[in-house]
Amino acid sequence: MMVGLELIPVGTILAVLTNQIIKTANAASDVLVEKETFKVLSKHLYDIEPVLKELQLQELNESQAARIALESLEEDVKRANKVVDKYRNRGRFYLLVNCRSIVHEVEEVTRSIGKSLAVLSLANTEVLSGISDQVDRLQNEMQRVEFEVSHSQLQIVERLDQGLREQKLDQAFANDMLEEIARAVGVPVDPSEISKELASIRKEKEEAADRKERAEVFFLEQVIELLSRADAARDYEEVKKQYYERLQVIERYNSREKYIEPLNSFICCITGTVMADPVSLCTGTTCERYAIEAWFDTGKRTDPETKEALEDTKLRSNVPLRQSIEEWRELNYCLTIRSIGEDLLSNSNLSVLESLRKVQDLIRDNSINKDWISIGGLTDIIISILGKTVNGEVKINILSTLNDAVEGHMRNKDKVSESQGWDHIICNLGSDPRISKAAIKLLYELLQDRTGWNVSLCRKLSQHDSAISLLVTLRKGPEEESAEIVEKILMELFHIDEVNISSAAKFGWYKPLVDHMVQGVESSRISMAKTIVNMELSDSNLNLLGEEGVISPLLEMLFGNIELKEASLSVLVKLSDSRANKRIIAASGGVPIILEQIFSPPMRTLIAIKCSEILEKLSADEDGIDFFVDSEGKQLELDSIIIKLLALQQSPTLAYNIRKPSLRALLGICKFETGLVKKAVLAARGVSLILPLLDDSDSEIRETAINLLFLLSQHEPEGVVEYLFRPRRLEALVGFLETDDNDVQMAAAGLIANLPKSEKELTMKLIELGGLDAIICILKTGTMEAKENALSALFRFTDPTNIESQRDLVKRGIYPLLVNFLDTGSITAKARAAAFIGDLSTTTPMLTLTAKSTGCWCFRPSRAHLCPAHGSVCSVSNTFCLLEAQALPGLVNLLCGEVDVTAYEAIQTLSTLVLEDYPQRGAHVLNESNAIKPLMDILTWGSDSLMAEALGLLEKVFVSKEMVELHGATARSRLVGLTGMNIYGDGHLRRKAAKVLSLIERYSRSSSAAVSGVLE
């Protein structure tokens, strides 16, 4: 009973009780074990607070029943507070091993508070009418509450109880139990932390002894004894002290002594081996626990040593004997450690391997040896050997031994990682697969601490010069298990510091980088993009980045802020060096996005530069038009793009680093399709926009401009001529012809070829300024593309009506160059060379002088050699004769190539040899050069226009009866087929064939009945 309760106002009692409830509720939420149980208690106490406040507001009656109910509730709350205080600051280990009794206590006090609340409610029914449902629900819940220990904790406690009942005191069981308990309550498995927990249990045991709670004292003694055997429960200083005490004992033994024999009392009478867990029978006989249990399991109830019947089968642990056996084992451990140290220093690989096997046996036999081999100096010796040996087997065994030594042992991990062993282990990652496998396994173990990854050691690993490169290489190795471990390590390094992702990418592992580009925050994306930009990437690596999926997130970044856009575009510029990546950019709908960035106002310089560079690279390929598509693969409106790029050049303030790539992009697009170019050029007055750029101070812009003008001048040449007549413009054009840049040479020559040939003054100016010499130089030394354009340009200097201009060219040595092109040029070059030779050969008859008779043949002086085609004295320099220039074989070869364009020009040029006045001479020359047969063959493979040219020449040839006799039969078979075909428009080709056939039949013995119907 509360003293003087009847004298204290009810309102005061309610206020004090409310504060007490709040205080207890707050404290209950802070208990570290069985949190859910105390959390429920805390919630119920918080729920009572508004009930008490309602009673205060409604002025609770002063009845005796109300005061008694309040007194009961206050007592229960005090009990709850005591329970909370009792367990709030206790050791976590103690709370776990007592979790069942704790839960029972909390359950009882909660139910008791619920009953008191029900009584209080009954005593104040009218006052609490407004919240009666709430109060009824609360008191019912509290009276019926049932708490249970969590399943995981219950399993641990039950396993502990079973082990104590069975007196399991071996170290393995102790290690397992301690780690399970520590993990369950969130205590690091560290000797200092474990020591605190065990000290807490000892304190509880002392308090229980003071309270005369013998069962509790006995239980806690058992728990302390068991957990104290665990490795983590050992104080390192005590372990060292124990080792040196044993070492002092063995120093009394001969240095050659390697083993101390066991006492007879150590031997189990059943197994005949030294006991680990000796237990005594009622007869005094001691046996190994598991052996005597097995003895009893077979139904035997006798002493295995004396054979006498046993009165009971109860087993009692023989603690003194067990301690003596443990001491004997520890002395032998010290002897073995001393012996191993000597053998390791023997420099014999066999001795080292045997010593390492013994170290592994020591660790397996007793985990205390993990500390003792380190204290005894073996770890240092083993690490030293690892750094020196070249023997693969020794390395593998050292790495495996160190792994055993450090597994689950933080002190040994620290020792290895802080010594030279750290570098030795990392270096062995790059060894052969067996060695690297052992090194990976050891490294992974070193990186683990009690709670997971050792972050500081992971940072140290990432800072090692070669660690990440070796790990990335091993990730792709043949050993699957090792590769998985390596990937785990790398992923943790990435988690710790994004810089490591960049480092891995530099060594060829791009997926983590791509993943961060896809999933990372804005800063991560920018960081990863900068990494790619700063890397030196081969073509294969560029392709690999694209395959890994980096392009899609980069395109997404273009919808972000300026910094994201700039970072993304910088990477896309780099990736666009790969053809495969260009395809991905196009397939992902990237080109319209890039175009929008460059053309949408306001223009930002860096973005415009990068976009222009990407467009330049996309348009650089011959089939670059395939990249200019939308996300559905539909062709973009290229004429619109061309017009916009041309318009971009209008700005006089356009930065050169935008102008250059945008001009080159324009150049690339203009090469795609002639029709598009013409449409866009005319719409945007392209030539007038590009011409001023020939005066630009930047040589690259000037050179790109001349290339563009070459293309544009095919459709709008007039403005170019006017521009070139301005001061120093023609000199600049000749300079382009003379440059070492092959593309510029080609463009300049092409521009000259495109200009109207009617501009005679322009042609003369070019000759005066050395333009013709520059073109001839290109024919000698330029690329084939430049030579093709130079040949086209050459025509403006060889007007067939101007013999002097032709003579000038021949004097400059053009003929041998043209003849050479017939054999070595491209198809275009061959065709143009043949046409040029045809122009010169057309002039030959006007330059020849027919040999005149000088009297009777017997008195004629010896004459100069006459040309078989022209019947006069011919030469290259005087008459431009193609026979003297040795051009005939090359022209005949063009007839055989089954290429329309070259065969067409060859026929036209060969036709100049068959003169109207003396066709037999030309026909004879063609026959001698074997030109007639390939000429007739054209009638089987050529196009209609080519066959028409061939028939025209055959018509001239078959004027000669001799040619009909030689080739008429063959020609007839070709021609008869053509006369029966309805081809070439209105039958023009058919009529030409019939005409040639009639010439052949004229010289035939039979009439030309075969063609009579055709001619009618």
What number is the average pLDDT over the span 410-422?
A: 91
Contact of 314 with 358, CB cutoff 8 Å: no
Residues 6+ apart with CB under 8 A from 8: 2
CATH 1.25.10.10 describes domain 345-497: yes
**pLDDT for res 854:** 36
**pLDDT for res 179:** 84
Pairing of strands 316-317, 286-288: unpaired
**pLDDT for res 209:** 74
Q: Which range has highest mean pLDDT (161-165, 189-193, 373-377)?
A: 373-377
Asked if the model's pLDDT at residue 292 lies above 70, the reply is yes
Confidence of residue 352 (pLDDT cuts 50, 70, 90): very high
Contact of 93 with 201, CB cutoff 8 Å: yes
Confidence of residue 223 (pLDDT cuts 50, 70, 90): confident
Contact of 553 with 525, CB cutoff 8 Å: yes
Min mean pLDDT across 484-488, 654-658, 702-706 is at: 654-658
Asked if the model's pLDDT at residue 3 lies above 50, the reply is no
Confidence of residue 130 (pLDDT cuts 50, 70, 90): low
- Other CB atoms within a 10 A radius of the CB of residue 580 amount to 16
Asked if the model's pLDDT at residue 379 lies above 70, the reply is yes
What number is the average pLDDT over the span 652-674?
A: 81
**pLDDT for res 7:** 55
Asked if the model's pLDDT at residue 2 lies above 50, the reply is no
Confidence of residue 851 (pLDDT cuts 50, 70, 90): very low
Confidence of residue 1014 (pLDDT cuts 50, 70, 90): very low
pLDDT tens sequence across 539-598? 899 999 999 899 999 999 999 999 999 999 999 999 999 999 999 999 999 999 999 998
Q: Give the start-to-end residue ranges of the domains of the chain.
A: 5-143, 151-233, 237-301+312-325, 345-497, 512-588, 601-684, 838-846+868-1015
Asked if the model's pLDDT at residue 416 lies above 60, the reply is yes
Confidence of residue 1010 (pLDDT cuts 50, 70, 90): very low
Asked if the model's pLDDT at residue 89 lies above 90, the reply is no
How far is the CA of 247 from the CAs of 310, 476, 727, 766, in angstroms?
42, 48, 105, 105
Name the H helices within 548-685. 551-557, 562-575, 579-587, 590-599, 605-618, 638-648, 656-670, 674-684
Confidence of residue 153 (pLDDT cuts 50, 70, 90): confident
What CATH fold (topology level) applies to the domain 237-301+312-325? Herpes Virus-1 (3.30.40)
Confidence of residue 762 (pLDDT cuts 50, 70, 90): confident
Contact of 665 with 619, CB cutoff 8 Å: yes
**Three state DSSP letters for 922-968:** HHHHHHHCCCHHHHHHHHHHCCHHHHHHHHHHHHHHCCCHHHHHHHH
Position with higher pLDDT, 904 vs 411: 904
CA distance 993 to 471: 79
Contact of 286 with 265, CB cutoff 8 Å: yes
The token pair at 355 is 């010593």
Quick one: what percent of the chain has pLDDT higher than 90?
Answer: 40
Confidence of residue 343 (pLDDT cuts 50, 70, 90): very high
**pLDDT for res 861:** 46
Asked if the model's pLDDT at residue 461 lies above 90, the reply is yes
Integer-rounded Cα radius of gyration of the chain = 52
**pLDDT for res 127:** 59
Position with higher pLDDT, 233 vs 928: 928
Mean pLDDT of the chain, nearest integer: 85
Cα angle at 530 between 526 and 531, to 5 degrees? Answer: 115
**pLDDT for res 59:** 65
Confidence of residue 53 (pLDDT cuts 50, 70, 90): confident
345-497 has the same fold as 237-301+312-325: no
Min mean pLDDT across 51-55, 628-632, 743-747 is at: 51-55
**pLDDT for res 393:** 95
What number is the average pLDDT over the span 134-156?
A: 77
Position with higher pLDDT, 148 vs 411: 411
In total, the chain counts a number of residues equal to 1016
Residues 6+ apart with CB under 8 A from 955: 992, 995, 996, 999
What number is the average pLDDT over the span 103-115?
A: 80
pLDDT tens sequence across 493-536? 999 998 999 899 988 898 999 888 888 888 888 999 999 999 88
Residues paired with 452 in a beta bridge: 449
**pLDDT for res 931:** 94
**pLDDT for res 353:** 95
**pLDDT for res 169:** 67
How far is the CA of 696 from the CAs of 691, 700, 704, 705, in angstroms?
10, 9, 11, 9
Contacts 24+ apart (CB under 8 A), 845-853: 845/870, 845/915, 846/803, 847/803, 847/878, 847/879, 847/880, 848/872, 848/873, 848/874, 848/879, 848/881, 849/873
Confidence of residue 817 (pLDDT cuts 50, 70, 90): very high
What CATH fold (topology level) applies to the domain 838-846+868-1015? Leucine-rich Repeat Variant (1.25.10)
CA distance 657 to 652: 13
Pairing of strands 448-449, 452-453: antiparallel
